[in-house]
Structure 1
Amino acid sequence: MELKMISTHLCCLFILLISISLGGYYQYQVQASSSASSPKQLFVFGDSYADTGNLRKSLAKSWKDPYGTTFPGKPSGRFSDGRVLSDYIAHSLGFRSPFPYTWMQLAGSDKLRAGMNFAYGGSGVFDTYANLPNMTTQIDFFENLIETSVYTKHDIHSSLVLVCLSGNDYGAYISKGGNIEDIVKFIPSVIVQLVANLRHISRLGASKVVVTTLPPLGCLPNITRPSSYKKCNATDNMIADYHNLLLQQAVAGLNNMLKSTSYFVMDFYRSFTAVLDSRQDSLGDLKFQSLLKPCCIGVSSEYSCGSVDDNGKKLYTVCSDPRSAFFWDDVHPTEAGWRAVYALFRSSLQEFLRSS
């Protein structure tokens, strides 16, 4: 069956469904905001693109070498050599990265003032892998902290909320036997659940919510490996493009319903593509020598970044300078990659925060 034809029919179905739903290593060079309209806290929901350490050390490779070599100099639970998206957003707003929810009992009240990060690597809007808290559960954690007065309605209203979804629902769907035609039919249900989550966050008092689109999935190293990291996969990119189209329509509908600009779409597809096409960041001082090939790579296809044998021998290699590569491992950008991606959004995000 032609994917284009499937997309056309399902787009009409989605519009009906959604209408119902609507009823360190180098210095930061992204300037921190000094605007009076800047949020006082950041609350984060989502997956590994925003997770700063919620996965337990026994479960996640992000707590093992060589993750964290750029920042903070050792593994910290981030799926990168250093900082990730949520770190850059927090810094640009002028405060420290919000503390991971899993470890909140170890945080004093001063560390909770910047907000909290509920994102878990590998999670989605639905259940994905190994009993990870899906996005609904993450929001329930948040709601419980409001009910127990850890945070107040005023805190939430004056905050920025980041909702990051990068494709784990689709990866889990494929791993359970789904094919391309099945995924195209599955996409609207993912968007409907995501919209339900966005509305739940707003009901808790959030006035400014950023939600990310999918990156070009066909350009991730785990997809480009068969072409020796030379060519993106058009079919996977089409899946991401269709998801993003429905998400953009949904967010426009939410803003129209609320008669405000409460939701902002951070377009990963456009920003990843722009950086990969230009081979550099928009600030002009980072140039990527390696685009689709990751900096940290398994010695063969059966191993990944961080793999070791029973004797602790490394089964991966790491490039000499992570700043020269856009991707760190099979699916995640380097700190430099995230810096380049976020630089494209900084001004539009500040404009969004100033809007009523």
Structure 2
Amino acid sequence: MGSNQLLGPKKTPKLFVFGDSYADTGNTKSDTEAWAVPYGITFPGKPSGRYCDGLIATDLIAKVLGAESPHLYRTHGKNKTLKKGMNFAFGGSKVVDYSPHSPFPNITAQVNLLVDIVLAGRVQGDITPTDVSLISYAGGDYIYFIDENRPAAGMKALVEEVVDHLHVNMIVLSGLLFKKVAVTSLQPIGCLPTYTSASSFKSCNESQSALVELHNKLLRQVVAKLNEQSRVMKKGQHYFIIDIHHAFMTVLKNKGSKRFKTPMMKSCCEGFCGRSMDGDKLYTLCDDPKSFFFWDEVHPTQEGWKSIYSVLGNPLTESKTKP
């Protein structure tokens, strides 16, 4: 295969995305913080449902692939049109649900939404060999587990359960005739501002390193297994890891090639970003989001995402997406 396996040689691919706030471009309800000022201050100049000051990972990977930004499930799901792909990601989504009353469909439920659309028939636009399905997972299950102070002894079992669910979802997507199924590695959770505040944002919290390492190790094993099965059975399907973890760490270690203010793990929007009480803002905002890697306590800025994807490569190459 060529040096860039995610890109089709001729036909423009469509992008289908499943995930959480790292991938959501506006599926969540209007009462979530992503629809409140100052979110969207850089692009499009007002809140758009993105958990960022501007463009996020989904926008950038679509650009890299030469695809159009996928339609939102919220606005196009009922139309059964897949002509421009579709983004099923919802901010706040997890893989394993702790609450049956969660307002957000988990990633498995998102994949099943596409299954339902396809099975319903009369779909405008087909899934073609050049199309790409992407599962973008930022560790919501783990962050919930940590913040709830659950017993650390249960973390290994949770990681195994999460990766097993991701494995099943990748199999389901391949069953929908996707020839290219991608999944993101887990970013360094301990480097997020919510966990670096204790060190005045100067160092990552190493207590989360083991779970991130285990998740990514198991994920690599799953992807390698799927690729081997596809090779043996001559299915022609290819599975990829988009190594977000490597990209995050590269940018943080290189201090963003001095494009970002230090400490880099401090966010532009501090406090309860996008929230107010009795007319008073519950957050403070930096003067220039472009000089910050992180937007809020867990999400990169638009400039942060651009720096991540500059490491991943433009276009994404085999060396950066290999299992």
Alignment TM-score > 0.5, same fold: yes
Is 1:297 the counterpart of 2:270? The answer is yes
For residues 226 and 148 of structure 2, the distance between their equivalents in structure 1, rounded to whole angstroms, comes to 32
Is 1:70 the counterpart of 2:42? The answer is yes
Given candidates 187, 191, 195, the residue that maps to 2:163 is 191
1:294–1:329: 8 Å Cα contact kept in structure 2?
Answer: yes
* Residue identity opposite 1:297 in structure 2: E
- CA shift in 2, pair 1:261/1:37, >3 Å: farther
Between the two structures, name the one with larger relative contact order (CA 8 Å, sep ≥ 6).
2
User: Which residue of 2 is the match for residue 42 of structure 1?
Assistant: 15
Given candidates 263, 278, 301, the residue that maps to 2:239 is 263
- CA shift in 2, pair 1:158/1:320, >3 Å: same
What does the per-residue CA deviation read over 1:111-162, in whole Å, with 9 as the maximum and x for residues that have no partner?
x522100001111212156332011110111012112336478424331111
Query: SS state of the match for residue 225, structure 2?
Result: helix
* Residue identity opposite 2:295 in structure 1: W
The worse-fitting range, judged by mean Cα deviation, of 157-166 and 331-340 is: 157-166
Query: SS state of the match for residue 80, structure 1?
Result: coil
Residue 177 of structure 1 and its aligned partner are, at CA, apart by 4.8
User: Which residue of 2 is the match for residue 18 of structure 1?
Assistant: none
Q: So what's the TM-score if we normalise by structure 1?
A: 0.80
User: Which residue of 1 is the match for residue 94 of structure 2?
Assistant: 124
Is 1:307 the counterpart of 2:307? The answer is no
* Residue identity opposite 2:268 in structure 1: C
1:153–1:205: 8 Å Cα contact kept in structure 2?
Answer: no
User: Which residue of 1 is the match for residue 219 of structure 2?
Assistant: 247
User: Which residue of 2 is the match for residue 325 of structure 1?
Assistant: 292
Query: SS state of the match for residue 280, structure 2?
Result: coil
* Residue identity opposite 2:29 in structure 1: R
* Residue identity opposite 1:65 in structure 2: V
Is 1:83 the counterpart of 2:49? The answer is no
What is the 5 A alignment of 1:16-165? 36-37=9-10, 39-58=12-31, 60-104=32-76, 112-128=82-98, 130-149=102-121, 151=123, 154-165=126-137
For residues 38 and 220 of structure 1, the distance between their equivalents in structure 2, rounded to whole angstroms, comes to 38
Query: SS state of the match for residue 255, structure 1?
Result: helix
Instruction: Give unpaired runs (5+ residues) of structure 2.
Output: 1-5
Is 1:277 the counterpart of 2:250? The answer is no
For residues 348 and 92 of structure 1, the distance between their equivalents in structure 2, rounded to whole angstroms, comes to 5
User: Which residue of 2 is the match for residue 25 of structure 1?
Assistant: none
Instruction: Give unpaired runs (5+ residues) of structure 1.
Output: 1-32, 299-303
What does the per-residue CA deviation read over 1:192-217, in whole Å, with 9 as the maximum and x for residues that have no partner?
11101110111011111110011111
Q: How many residues align?
A: 310
